[in-house]
Structure 1
Amino acid sequence: MTRTRLLAALVMAPLAIAAILFLPTPWFMALAAVVFLAGLWEWFDLADVRDSLARSVLLAANLTLMVAMVWASRSASGFSYVLLQLVSIVGVAWWLLVLLWLRNFNFASDHDTHARAIKLAAGTMSLVPAWCALAWIHGGGDAASSHRWLFAALGIVWAADSGAYFAGRKLGRRKLAPRISPNKTIEGLIGGLVAGVVTGVALGLFAGASVAQLPWVALAAAIAVLFSVVGDLFESLLKRHAGVKDSSNLIPGHGGVLDRLDGVLAALPAFAVAKAVLGF
């Protein structure tokens, strides 16, 4: 499994990095929307929405919301990121609220109409703000620098995920959330935190941060890693409710699109807001 996981990553990572660094923001937003909506399609399955017509309508509704935000952000003087920034802040508040959901394992677990509606709303609240934060980071400043900052944000999550995986396998003893995700350990969390912060500092320099800004970059990286853990645990909770191991089998060794996005969904709004507040 580790070999398959590595080979798949070696194929996906260069394509993702090239898109982040070289695509203009409007094209990158469109590409990211396709990926995020693919993850949302898998989310519908976890929410027990199996009818293809219903899922298509729900997907179209979320796409319409994204298009409407882009349309509302256009003006005669150019594109404004204010609306996307506000939605990103809402996303941070949402993921803090998810912490309460994680404490109550059985909430919305029975898959009746009430639970399904809650999980569908949760899907929109999880994916749309992350997409807004991604666009904000990628296009909110000088092109070369902002593109590199998005690469840094995603690199933090990727490094944390790998660090947690290998640290957990080698050193893991104490369970982090045994009822939600039995394989996750406190040692893995620490390993992921260290890997994410180190990667954040290194990529922060690549993105143009000064030496004086590096402590703030490290703090933002740590915040992003912790939020990514919340996103990862939340998807694990939904999969436990649905009785499945992965959101799909689309990516060899990695599961589905949503399995690759879970940590990113929570980390991107957190990093974007932290970057703005900390001023780098």
Structure 2
Amino acid sequence: MLKQRIITAIVLVAVVLGCIFFLPLNLFTIVAALLVTAAGYEWGRFLCNKRAVCVVSAVVTLVIVAFSGGFVIEDIKLATFNDKALELMLSLSVLWWLFSVWMIAVYPRGTGFWFKSSWLKSFSGVLTLIPFYWAMVLVFAPGNVDAPMHGGWGLLSVMVLVWVADSGAYFCGRALGKNKLAPKVSPGKTREGLAGGVVLAVIVAAIIGYCIGYRGHEMYVWLVSSLAAVLFSVVGDLTESMFKREAGIKDSGQILPGHGGILDRIDSLTAALPVFVFFYRLLS
């Protein structure tokens, strides 16, 4: 099992690096759309875990992404924070993740009003996946001076911060963890682990910012945005865990040997990337 996980992880890292450093923008938008569509298929399992529902969820996700312009981007500068549609999308995303904090805090109380409603769970999927897609495209967009940390290195930097926070939380939790963070949602996570992961991620963020050449206000914006992204990455992880627990499933899928599904791998990033973009652009 461990060998399988390691092999899958190596392949995933190679694929991710290949996509963000070698794909042109138009192909990247298509690959990102397919990734989000696969995640939409897995979100269908939260509804009733029937294949037909999963397929419909994937198709709806793909249609929304395509309709929003994801397949026909020629000039990425259309996706600026001045664009009201993008501004609304990012704002709704932040509100959704703030609402998720409340859902996690009161769980399992409060599940009655959303777990029995396929419409609410479907809308939750839209608020989770579509802003994530556009945040990926916006950060990746080469040459877009309006995008924070634009290009492959920008996208990789945010991903690294999330991975560092997750790894730091795991090891700090094992060494020092005593107080559970959200025992009814994810019993393995501890407050000490969260604190350790956040501190480590902020240190790495400071190093990245210094190497890039950020100083003064630029460094402030970068660190605050990174801190917000790291904190909300935990919310993204816990939210998916909550949905899986209510659906009675262990993993969102089986497409990645040893790692579960697509959602299991991107759950933290679905919150971290939109939140990062929102705060970076708001504070700049």
The residue aligned with 2:33 is 33
**C-alpha distance after superposition, 1:169-190 (max 9, x if no partner):** 2222211000110000111111
The reply to whether residue 247 of structure 1 matches residue 245 of structure 2 is no
* SS of residue in 1 equivalent to 2:254: coil
Structure-1-length-normalised TM-score: 0.87
The residue aligned with 1:56 is 55
**C-alpha distance after superposition, 1:73-118 (max 9, x if no partner):** 868x775102334312221111111122223323346997x42221
Residue 232 of structure 1 deviates from its aligned partner by 0.7
The correspondence for 1:149, drawn from 140, 145, 154, is 154
Kept in 2: contact 1:85–1:132 (CA 8 A): no
2:233 is aligned with what amino acid? S
Q: Unpaired segments of 5 or more residues in structure 2?
A: none
The residue aligned with 1:258 is 263
Counterparts of 1:144 and 1:229 in 2: how far apart (Å)?
22
Counterparts of 1:5 and 1:16 in 2: how far apart (Å)?
16
Residues 174/6 of structure 1: CA separation in 2 closer, same or farther (3 Å cut) = farther
* SS of residue in 1 equivalent to 2:267: helix
Counterparts of 1:74 and 1:127 in 2: how far apart (Å)?
19
Kept in 2: contact 1:20–1:28 (CA 8 A): yes
Counterparts of 1:209 and 1:271 in 2: how far apart (Å)?
19
Kept in 2: contact 1:133–1:272 (CA 8 A): yes
Corresponding pairs, count: 275
Q: Unpaired segments of 5 or more residues in structure 1?
A: none
The residue aligned with 1:199 is 204
**Is 185-194 or 227-236 further displaced after alignment?**
185-194
1:156 is aligned with what amino acid? L
* SS of residue in 2 equivalent to 1:135: helix
Residue 59 of structure 1 deviates from its aligned partner by 1.9
Residue 267 of structure 1 deviates from its aligned partner by 0.6
The residue aligned with 1:20 is 20
Residue 3 of structure 1 deviates from its aligned partner by 5.7
RMSD: 2.7
Counterparts of 2:45 and 2:100 in 1: how far apart (Å)?
20
1:43 is aligned with what amino acid? W
Kept in 1: contact 2:148–2:281 (CA 8 A): no
Identity %: 34
Residues 173/262 of structure 1: CA separation in 2 closer, same or farther (3 Å cut) = same
The residue aligned with 1:137 is 139
Counterparts of 1:172 and 1:201 in 2: how far apart (Å)?
25
Residue 30 of structure 1 deviates from its aligned partner by 1.2
**Is 26-35 or 82-91 further displaced after alignment?**
82-91
Counterparts of 2:76 and 2:251 in 1: how far apart (Å)?
41
* SS of residue in 2 equivalent to 1:131: helix
Counterparts of 1:58 and 1:259 in 2: how far apart (Å)?
17
Counterparts of 1:33 and 1:239 in 2: how far apart (Å)?
23
**C-alpha distance after superposition, 1:104-159 (max 9, x if no partner):** 323346997x4222111111110111111111112272599511222111111121
Counterparts of 1:51 and 1:7 in 2: how far apart (Å)?
28
* SS of residue in 2 equivalent to 1:122: helix
Counterparts of 1:111 and 1:90 in 2: how far apart (Å)?
18
The reply to whether residue 102 of structure 1 matches residue 104 of structure 2 is yes
Counterparts of 1:73 and 1:195 in 2: how far apart (Å)?
39
Kept in 1: contact 2:40–2:54 (CA 8 A): no
Kept in 2: contact 1:43–1:123 (CA 8 A): yes
Kept in 1: contact 2:43–2:54 (CA 8 A): no
The residue aligned with 2:238 is 233
Kept in 2: contact 1:109–1:241 (CA 8 A): no
Kept in 1: contact 2:38–2:58 (CA 8 A): no
The reply to whether residue 211 of structure 1 matches residue 209 of structure 2 is no
> In the TM superposition, what are the counterparts of 1:39-118 in structure 2 within 5 Å?
39-52=39-52, 54-70=53-69, 80-81=78-79, 82=83, 83-106=85-108, 107-108=110-111, 114-118=116-120
Kept in 1: contact 2:139–2:154 (CA 8 A): yes
Counterparts of 2:4 and 2:264 in 1: how far apart (Å)?
15
